[in-house]
């Protein structure tokens, strides 16, 4: 399990990072709707699940096959990251994550802190490789992932349609061992 930690952000604010619990379901759903409404940074534009379904999802993040992290700044949900390892014996050594940060908490180190905690979990869980997919147009995220040691392994050309424009998906990975 990942213990609750704090991180000092570049703007001097303190972020608390912890495992999500089922009681976070409503706040996470609202957060997904907020970040998704921007349309250009994350795949989901709105939550497609009920609060009860999200509670079950959070309860299933058992710390063995997956974790779901939340970051709070000044009591406000400011970031989320979920990471899950492969379910087949052929890919349990690989995990994939998705992350989103509140617009007010981008480029201040929150994403770095969340990914750091996810990598900590992955190492403890015996994961050897961590994958993600990012819109090629999300230059800030691509730069962050590169800075943290992720490399582009592939490109899915014109995979996404964002505000009427075809956008490539970049498949990025970082080997831990």
- Which tens digits make up the pLDDT trace of 26-51? 999 999 999 988 878 887 878 889 99
The predicted-structure confidence for 145-162, as pLDDT tens digits, reads as follows 999 999 999 999 999 999
* H and E: helices and strands count for the chain: 4, 8
Alpha carbon of 121 to those of 26, 36, 64, 146: distances in Å? 25, 26, 9, 20
**What's the CA gap between 175 and 165, in Å, rounded?**
32
Q: How far apart are CA 39 and CA 25, in angstroms?
A: 21
Model pLDDT for residues 110-147, shown as the tens digit of each residue: 999 999 999 999 999 999 999 999 999 999 999 999 99
Instruction: State what percent of residues in the chain have pLDDT above 90.
Output: 91
Q: Domains of the chain, with CATH numbers? A: 5-127 (3.40.630.30)
pLDDT computed for residue 65 by the predictor = 96
Count of residues in the chain: 177
Enclosing H/E stretch for 142: helix 139-147
Contact call for residues 145 and 131 (beta carbons, < 8 A): no
The band of 91, judged by pLDDT with boundaries at 50, 70 and 90, is very high
- Quote the pTM value: 0.95
* Cα(94)–Cα(76) distance, integer angstroms: 31
**159-160-165-166 Cα dihedral, nearest 10 degrees:** 0
Indicate whether 54 pLDDT > 80. Answer: yes
Rounded to whole angstroms, how far apart are CA atoms 127 and 129?
6
Structure tokens at 58: 């959070």
Query: How far is Cα 158 from Cα 81, in angstroms, rounded to an integer?
Result: 25
In the prediction, which pLDDT does 2 show? 83
**Of all residues in the chain, what percent carry a pLDDT higher than 70?**
99
Return the pLDDT at 137. Answer: 96
């Amino acid at each position: 399990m990942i213990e609750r930690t704090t991180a000092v952000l570049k703007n001097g604010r303190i972020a608390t990072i912890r495992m999500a619990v089922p009681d976070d379901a409503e706040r996470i759903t609202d957060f997904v709707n907020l970040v998704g409404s921007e349309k250009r940074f994350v795949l989901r534009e709105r939550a497609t699940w009920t609060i009860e379904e999200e509670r079950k999802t959070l309860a299933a993040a058992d710390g063995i096959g997956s974790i779901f992290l939340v970051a709070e700044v000044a009591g406000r949900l400011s970031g989320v990251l979920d990471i899950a390892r492969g379910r087949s014996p052929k890919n349990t050594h690989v995990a994939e994550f998705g992350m989103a940060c509140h617009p007010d908490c981008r480029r201040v180190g929150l994403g770095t802190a969340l990914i750091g905690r996810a990598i900590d979990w992955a190492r403890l869980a015996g994961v050897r490789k961590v994958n993600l997919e990012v819109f090629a147009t999300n230059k800030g995220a691509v730069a962050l992932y590169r800075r943290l040691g992720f490399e582009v392994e592939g490109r899915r050309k014109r995979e996404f349609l964002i505000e009427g424009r075809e956008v490539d998906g970049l498949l990025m990975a970082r080997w831990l061992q």
